[in-house]
Structure 1
């Protein structure tokens, strides 16, 4: 453990902006959501009616989880924000751990540090302390923020422990993933896939009311901490024990591998390149096809799940005569409510697809940092062709995964109502309408790569900001100009209504301007520099 505290100080110095932003965003969003819920539902009868509506729709429970106590502001806050806050804490932990472990080995910095008076486990321990400390600070700030609004202190503490516990558990998951592969990008992908699986298990368990499935997911544990609804304090011990076991397992695995290597052996390629690898686009496709396949399968699975659950939204109308009458007056009904739900889910998928667009575009930075771009650009490949090739994969891949999600949702929903072909076409079209907003994030990533390569993390910050505006903008009653900053706010409703293509054309023009500016800026800067 020699040198652990020094490495902790170094990590905090490097993350002096990243960590405070994550922590303040998580705590600020939750505090604002609690205040908004108190303002929107001041009467107990209103809160109870909302709880009954949610409880009658498995599709809504799949998205946000069950309501354990609809009579209190705290109970509704926990229902609305526990999953979202837990996912954010988990993502923060994954990024921090991979950044200070596997990424250090991949770049060779860990070898230089290890040549000094530094213990074998100092790097791993420092990463755990930084990520764990960040999650503890989230627990403290959430407790103070919610209790400061007049909510019960015990419930506020339980909520904080649920969110911080999820982050701590995925600290262990990221530590384990960092031992399996020799590339930071792959380690992040493994940990993110585990997070996606956790969300899927929780969603299926809550929708089908199968507690066993929900208990297989750390996100399900966070919900079942039951903050503000008869707290289960022993769940905090489950979080702590699971995280410790995963971290200890990662430490044991680290002793069985060489520095810089992963436990999963790297697959050797053929001695000679195939004839198909004669263009930059072919190389970009070869580098990114594995990740694209994983994203496509994941979107198809999630789309099918939401499509299968969409029919249950109509039960709200059948169980609520007042709502049925209101929808009839405005020309809708159960079908309109189902379409609204499906459109919302496709909008959520498009935000996630924005993550793929950013990741695929920033593969350029990974190739540049690993000094694999220099030999390519030193030959006859022009810079604009190289950058445009990866951008093409990012744009085409984001459209492909959205199409897979929309098609799967349409088939699943269509099989439930006996119209598989018609619903597949409808939802495929609705999914493709989301594509221009997703492309905007690729344009932002390209602009930052070409103009400000040291600030490419701002592309991820933009994605998180747009997602929060989309999910909480209405709840927080933000002004239209603020929510309008997100490209996803300009996507027209395409189910059951004519599509206005003008916003899509404007988003396409913005993407083209951002991308072309980024490519032109890359033409003028040095490699691995500003």
Structure 2
């Protein structure tokens, strides 16, 4: 292997992705810290922990989403139940995004060929991409372990939990690297990697919810549970992550030597001889670019919403302890508690859906960097129409996903459509984040990536802020903090109207600025 220049390319990749990686890591760490800090006060005795864990294991929907709790007496396993399996998916996707960005995207835009024409080894770009994903996964694993320890969880279990996250990040990098050799399209690479992760997750679901429990041992998303990090750990399972990631990387490198730069192992599907008349304007082009992603997001959000909704009716059993019973009664009973859970689910899903909108904005920034935006604007297409198309796809697509999430949660819960309202009240907060991202894009295209940093800031303030006693003005920086807690509380219009108005002002400013600045 010729690795000349790997270090230089790695430093460039780290600098280029400093905002993206920081945002991803901060969001995941915020959820880890919040989960670790919340469980201890709720379940102070072993009997309370056992009761809660048994209630979790008794719900097929919860097991399908989070995986089973093997040691019902373990506070660490109870605290990190959803982190171990569900949030491991987001860790894997972090690596997929990084590897795809520095392999297939670079080849698709022609930059990889330019880099290869310099004094850089043929394998250096691939090695740099994998090393960056590995370093990001290692950093995330170490910080997650530190967060668990700081919140009072056992040291050994925390370290093993962090190691499992690092391992799943390495596997995600291997999946993305292999997909980048199979397809010549960055979009297809994302689809292949997402489908693979989804299939592995579904395999774990089948294994954990049926008598065929051996299936959970065939997927890395089942290893996190079987590791038993918090009691009687199977440390040798960590080798499984390394072996699988190594096998994927070796297979990817073998395929890479069999293909030409810019092409994929799988043949490209020929397009139509004549372009569709529906693609004559910028709006149709943007919709065509986002359609596949929107379909995939719709299916994923619908599944998550239905699973989350099916968990709501069992919340009373999960919190049926001496310590929490008085709290539940003070909140207005189990019904009010279920409404609070519906709002909590909607707020988390809204943050995830915001990823789709910011991704649409940053994609537009990438189109500008690569010179395709200038080509589009050379036709009878105005800047205003182009920005309207990008903003419309982000805002309307995110609003559609919020509606899908609400309907799916309501159907999963099986009693009314309060979940639809809980999801839609999140819309002004999502719109505000997307409007600010569009404003950053309009000021300078390279600033669009800072939208991820904004989202990370808002989520971190919203998740961690109340727990550490931050003042109200700091909490108020997050638009998600102002969302009415419907249906747990009475719906109020003022915060929704204010956030919508601020979003409109930001969009107007973006519109004005984009018309006057240089493209590229």
Name the TM tier (shorter chain). Answer: 0.7 to 0.9
Asked if residue 232 in structure 1 is aligned to residue 234 in structure 2, the reply is yes
SS of structure 2 residue aligned to 1:527: coil
- Provide the residue aligned with 1:394 in structure 2: 394
- Provide the residue aligned with 2:332 in structure 1: 331
After superposition, the C-alpha distances for 1:255-308 in whole angstroms (9 at most, x for unaligned) are 232211233444433333333334322222222222211111221222222223
- Provide the residue aligned with 1:13 in structure 2: 12
SS of structure 2 residue aligned to 1:15: helix
Cα pair distance change 1:492/1:29, threshold 3 Å: closer
Cα pair distance change 1:341/1:28, threshold 3 Å: closer
Asked if residue 514 in structure 1 is aligned to residue 506 in structure 2, the reply is yes
Cα pair distance change 1:330/1:139, threshold 3 Å: closer
The offset of 1:216, in angstroms, is 5.1
- Provide the residue aligned with 2:367 in structure 1: 367
- Provide the residue aligned with 2:157 in structure 1: 155
Cα pair distance change 1:366/1:138, threshold 3 Å: closer
- Of residues 184-193 and 340-349 in structure 1, the stretch that sits farther from structure 2 once superposed is 184-193
SS of structure 1 residue aligned to 2:5: helix
After superposition, the C-alpha distances for 1:211-242 in whole angstroms (9 at most, x for unaligned) are 45654543332233222322111210111111
Q: 2:456 aligns with which of 461, 464, 470?
A: 464
The offset of 1:455, in angstroms, is 2.7
Distance 1:167 1:367 in 2: 28
Distance 2:220 2:517 in 1: 45
- Provide the residue aligned with 1:348 in structure 2: 348
Asked if residue 504 in structure 1 is aligned to residue 486 in structure 2, the reply is no
- Provide the residue aligned with 1:299 in structure 2: 301
Distance 1:390 1:493 in 2: 30
- The TM-score, its normalising length taken from structure 2, stands at 0.86
Distance 1:141 1:194 in 2: 27
Distance 2:461 2:203 in 1: 26
Distance 2:141 2:363 in 1: 34
Kept after mapping to 2: 8 A contact 1:343/1:493: yes
- The TM-score, its normalising length taken from structure 1, stands at 0.84
- Of residues 97-106 and 186-195 in structure 1, the stretch that sits farther from structure 2 once superposed is 186-195
Describe how 1:111-126 pairs up with structure 2 within 5 A: 111-126=113-128
Describe how 1:64-213 pairs up with structure 2 within 5 A: 65-67=67-69, 74-75=76-77, 78-79=80-81, 81-83=83-85, 86-87=88-89, 89-139=91-141, 153-192=155-194, 194-195=196-197, 211-212=213-214
Kept after mapping to 1: 8 A contact 2:6/2:127: no
Distance 1:85 1:172 in 2: 18
SS of structure 1 residue aligned to 2:519: coil
SS of structure 2 residue aligned to 1:362: helix
Distance 2:455 2:119 in 1: 40
Asked if residue 218 in structure 1 is aligned to residue 220 in structure 2, the reply is yes
Kept after mapping to 2: 8 A contact 1:364/1:387: no
Kept after mapping to 2: 8 A contact 1:34/1:146: no
The offset of 1:395, in angstroms, is 1.2
Q: 2:515 aligns with which of 501, 505, 523?
A: 523
Asked if residue 481 in structure 1 is aligned to residue 473 in structure 2, the reply is yes
Cα pair distance change 1:462/1:312, threshold 3 Å: same
After superposition, the C-alpha distances for 1:166-198 in whole angstroms (9 at most, x for unaligned) are 111111111122223334354345434544565
Kept after mapping to 2: 8 A contact 1:31/1:146: yes
The offset of 1:347, in angstroms, is 1.7
Distance 1:439 1:217 in 2: 37
Cα pair distance change 1:285/1:89, threshold 3 Å: closer
Q: Which segments of 5 or more consecutive residues in structure 1 lack a partner in the other structure?
A: none
- Of residues 24-33 and 272-281 in structure 1, the stretch that sits farther from structure 2 once superposed is 24-33
SS of structure 2 residue aligned to 1:220: helix
Distance 2:287 2:512 in 1: 22
Asked if residue 55 in structure 1 is aligned to residue 57 in structure 2, the reply is no
Kept after mapping to 2: 8 A contact 1:23/1:138: no
The offset of 1:69, in angstroms, is 5.3
Distance 2:270 2:476 in 1: 48
Distance 1:163 1:170 in 2: 11
Cα pair distance change 1:427/1:27, threshold 3 Å: closer
- Of residues 99-108 and 20-29 in structure 1, the stretch that sits farther from structure 2 once superposed is 20-29
Describe how 1:406-425 pairs up with structure 2 within 5 A: 406-414=406-414, 423=416, 425=417
